[in-house]
Structure 1
Amino acid sequence: MGLDNIRDVRNGIDVCRKILSSSDEEFSSRRFILDCILDFGIIPNNWALMSRFGANRNTSLFGLIQYPTEFADFLMALSRVPIESAIEIGVFRGASSYFICSVLQRANKNVKYTMLDIEDNVIAFDEFSRFLNIIPAFKKTSDDFAGQKFDFAFIDGDHSYEGVNKDIINIGNFAKCVAFHDIYGHEYNNLNGGVVRAWREFVQAHCMDMSIMEFSHAPEQWMGLGLAIRTD
């Protein structure tokens, strides 16, 4: 692990521990969660739509790939949902998983968070697993968990229309609460409509039995998070 990675990982650990030890007043504060996101840092990038967060870029490949204010509002909503079992499909280097797990574990110390990915590119799993209830499921797909029920499923893997739908069929349809990343990721539209199409169809199919929320703050429609919570 390079020196930049070591520094950013140590900082990320400090931020996650800060969330876990936060007071009820802090944990219920959007400002607190947003500050933690900004302190954790985002990956280095030259994305024009993320320019306002330039000061919060990490120097290594370890960091969040999220639009910070969207992520904060998403987490505030998610923290109010009773969750004991969770799975993230497509964790890449693991930063978002660690952060989300910290929030869910602060809300419920017994939560178990499964990190699922077709590869193993995760940074510092051992370090974070010392205090987070994370379960590795690397070099696997949603097929390996087909039909398993989770309280929360975060779909952020294969961004093709077919890939998203496979994850919905295998896991999303059985979850009490399901989230999608890149609901405005139009850069994937060439993949038979990508996440944008899959999310729109999911909303139309479930708007009667699930409470639907969208979080989109970029100057143009980009990234975005969708959250659906069962009401029955």
Structure 2
Amino acid sequence: MFGFLKRRRRARIQAQPFPPAWLAIIQRNVPMFARLLEADRDELLRRVLVFVAEKNFEGAGGLAMTDEVRVTIAAQACILLLRLDDDDYYPRLRSIVVYPSAYKVPREERAGEIVREHDAVHLGESWGHGAVVLSWNSARHGAADPRDGKNVILHEFAHQLDQEDGAADGTPELERLAFYAPWARVLSEHYLALRKAARTGRKTLLDQYGATNEAEFFAVASECFFERPVQLRTRHPELYDELSSYYGQDPAGAATPA
């Protein structure tokens, strides 16, 4: 019954005309939107309506929450969802907390009995218990250049997809059991190669922050998949294919002139 009511509520939301002011925000702030196929652009707008209606946006650190902030974040978060299950709107996510710029998070480091407290500077975080935290300045600038391979919104929402099964391990919920073995092989090979490159100082297409752990590797690879798809397909075709199979999208094909 709950699923039926949820689908009916979402259908009503999606039947509403998309606000022209919101479309202008997406066209201005999310240049990746122009690279989508027309059918995907229409689907993205429908998903943005639901996302904004269902998620709670909170300004922090003095940020005044506006439609520009909501819609810019929602559009990019929903790009990841375009071909995923219709019921998949980051079900664990309740709130998106947005700071004006990079923000500080208290941290403790222990060395034996010695505890050192310090502030870590963050651009974004994804919490498994219902929140994404973003720096608006970083989010806006990351979206402005859709080919630099760096996008904090795509990164943190990829973490949300990874965390849907309760574990931040670089493996989101895949459609079929048979998909897990090739995913594990390909992602592990590329993760270990990135770690080796980071140790030896070799330049890489993938941001070397992805060498931190498997969860960060998936988030970094997702950023690259959507922002630098042609380069990723050329240099890491197996990794591109796994991500393309998972997301159900072929951004390299869309980016290649006919």
Q: More helix per residue: 1 or 2?
A: 2
Q: Same fold (TM over 0.5)?
A: no
**TM, length-normalised to structure 1:** 0.32
TM-score between both structures, scaled by the size of structure 2: 0.30
